[in-house]
A and B are shown apart, each in its own frame.
Chain A
């Protein structure tokens, strides 16, 4: 059984970070789905997904991001991703995710992008 964990962390700038750890595949996607579901039900729409400890993501895992992005953006929020290893980024890149999502080097950079948008 593959291991996957999601840690939710509230930053002080009204942004919530999901820290992904381990192997995100068909078995473990429900864990991530539940985490998103919970944030959305609490009306928290500014989300950074920190992928520092994410070792693999399958298409089903990517599908979770697709499933929530429209609802989040409809509420003026966004899902941004940060700290991907090259291997994980390659999967996101191959499936064209950089065209749809902000994928940045660090969590702070992602937070800055949220800030820029709220200034505008």
Chain B
């Protein structure tokens, strides 16, 4: 019977310990484990404050749990000068750096050892009037020993949980980027694309304030006033060469106003929008609605997202441009068809003569013109002209000349008078930089006399069977430069059998080879001399081939037009 009280005393010590052990070892929840440890110690010692510090870095510890202390100090970190495996009591000179802990009222730290290494400390506020007895100390040591393994497990579980969550977060971000990449490819409308981007941005980072400032063009604002940012967008673009937190904008005088404004508008960061390493705009990212700050990782994600959207936006723009261009091209193609329709499709038969003509335009529409028009008096009007400039403006003027020529042919006017009228008309209706070199003549098949006026055009050749060449130079000024004051001079030439007239535009004489040299009229003269016994059609074909051979590899810069007629 004498043993009984002893047994019961052992029971009162052991039973709670056993229960404590089974409770904390059945849990993986660190908060619960530490909470139970703290409350048990505090209950046993009748004290009101306790904390548990856990090891984070080599000598860094942080407060993981605490009872009777302000909530704010949780997660506070401390650098330990040395890691003691024995109880530390404050004040202690060596641990002066830990004053912050002692100022909480904590005055001793018990090491928590797992496999003989310190994984943390249990800190308590020992009552000055009731120092911890040896027995209590033993009890605390035992509790800590029993808890150590559970704390270890709990920490590992927490870490796994946290890294799993971080991983889930990353997977979610990647999935978003992947989905959006797919989505953006299918969208061809800018507005729809921006909508999808903004919703994704808002959902992913939890903000509803943002602005997209484009260096060129209209910016986009959501819940942020436009005026200020718009005025300062170039400074913003200059500043944000990489994702930048607003707080980290350098405190230079020139950025001060901008920084203040961004802070006031709750813009947390600037994200550059880049194309080929050049900043084209900046996404101003508003604070989160739930107020927690962005991490560097968040900024990097937003950067990826925003640039994915921006590249797609740019592609959309390029696509629209390509569509516009194609439309324009097809319109030009129609213009070309119309213009080609203005040139003669077939040339009339002229008794006693053989006539050939060709026009090859350098652009889709050109400014060269040639024509052979039968007149009511049995003569044939043969025309060649070259409008200054190229493309659509030149072709419009050419169409105008064509109409005027056709209108004047039936009118009973001399060539000189008619030329004067065309000149005045062009002069009146076009600016000074628009002019036309123009040559025309009336061929009489009966008399075989060719009556002509040359208004500044490359003088046509008259190629005689003996190889002599004469130039048809009589006339006057280029059309469209000055009002007609001196009448255009007329010239005439008698064409005998075998005589051939070659009309050409400067696209022939000024055709360029790859090194930029002109073909020249001299060279053309030499070339056609060798063709003097050929038919008009063969002469035309051979000149055409010669010019195309000469200019092989170089881009054709001007229209090429040729008219050849020969007396049979």
- Interface-centre pick from A27, A62, A65, A66 (highest chain B CB count, 10 A): A66
Closest Cβ of chain B to A84, distance in Å, is 15
Contacts of B176 in A (CB 8 A): 58-59
Residues of A within 8 A of B202 (CB): 62-63, 66-67
Cβ of B556: which chain A residues have Cβ within 8 Å of it?
none
Chain A residues with CB under 8 Å of B223's CB are 70
Q: Does B374 contact A (CB under 8 A)?
A: no
Is A119 part of the contact surface with B, judged by Cβ < 8 Å? no
- The answer to whether B290 touches A65, judged by C-beta atoms less than 8 angstroms apart, is no
When the two chains form their complex, are residues B290 and A100 in contact, meaning their CB atoms are under 8 A apart?
A: yes
Q: Report how far A29 CA is from B202 CA in the complex, Å.
A: 13
The A-B contact count (CB < 8 A) is 76
A25 cross-chain contacts in B, Cβ below 8 A: 179
**Minimum Cβ distance to chain B for residue A40 (Å):** 14
Kindly provide the distance from the CB of B548 to the nearest chain A CB, expressed in whole angstroms.
55
Return chain A residues, CB-CB under 8 Å to B172. 59, 91, 94-95
A80-102 Cβ-contact flags toward B at 8 Å (1 or 0): 00000000001100111101100
Interface membership of chain A positions 27-44, coded 1 if the CB is closer than 8 angstroms to chain B and 0 otherwise: 101000000000000000
Q: A60-B196, A95-B203, A95-B204 known; A66 and B289 CB under 8 Å?
A: yes
Does chain B have a CB within 8 A of A69? yes
- Asked if A70 contacts B289 (CB within 8 A), the reply is yes
Chain B interface helix/strand/loop/mixed: helix
Evaluate contact between A63 and B204: CB separation under 8 angstroms.
Answer: yes
A63 and B292 contact, CB distance less than 8 A: no
Contact B201 A69 (CB under 8 A): no
Is B206 a contact partner of A58 (Cβ separation < 8 A)? no
Contact A67 B199 (CB under 8 A): yes
CB of A7 closer than 8 Å to a CB of B: no
Q: Shortest CB–CB separation between residue A86 and chain B, in angstroms?
A: 13
Interface size on B, residues (CB 8 A): 25
> What's the interface size class on A, roughly?
20 to 34
| Chain A residue contacts of B168, Cβ below 8 A | 90, 94
Is the CB of A15 closer than 8 A to any CB of chain B?
Answer: no
- Residue on A nearest B168 in the bound complex, by CB: A94
Closest chain B residue, CB of each to CB of A29? B199
State how many angstroms separate the Cβ of B164 from the closest Cβ of chain A: 11
Please tell me if the beta carbons of A95 and B199 are within 8 angstroms of each other in the complex: no
Q: Does B21 contact A (CB under 8 A)?
A: no
Nearest chain-A residue to B172 (Cβ)?
Answer: A94
Task: Say yes or no: A66-B203 contact (C-beta < 8 A), given A58-B176, A100-B289, A100-B290.
Answer: yes
Residue of A nearest to B206 (CB): A96
Interface membership of B183, Cβ < 8 A? yes
Query: CA separation between A59 and B202, bound complex, in Å?
Result: 8
- B-binding residues in A (CB < 8 A): 25-27, 29, 58-67, 69-70, 90-91, 94-97, 99-100
Task: Supply 16 further A-B pairs (C-beta < 8 A) apart from A96-B290, A100-B289.
Answer: A25-B179, A29-B196, A58-B176, A59-B176, A59-B199, A59-B203, A59-B204, A60-B199, A62-B204, A63-B200, A66-B206, A66-B289, A69-B208, A95-B172, A95-B203, A95-B206
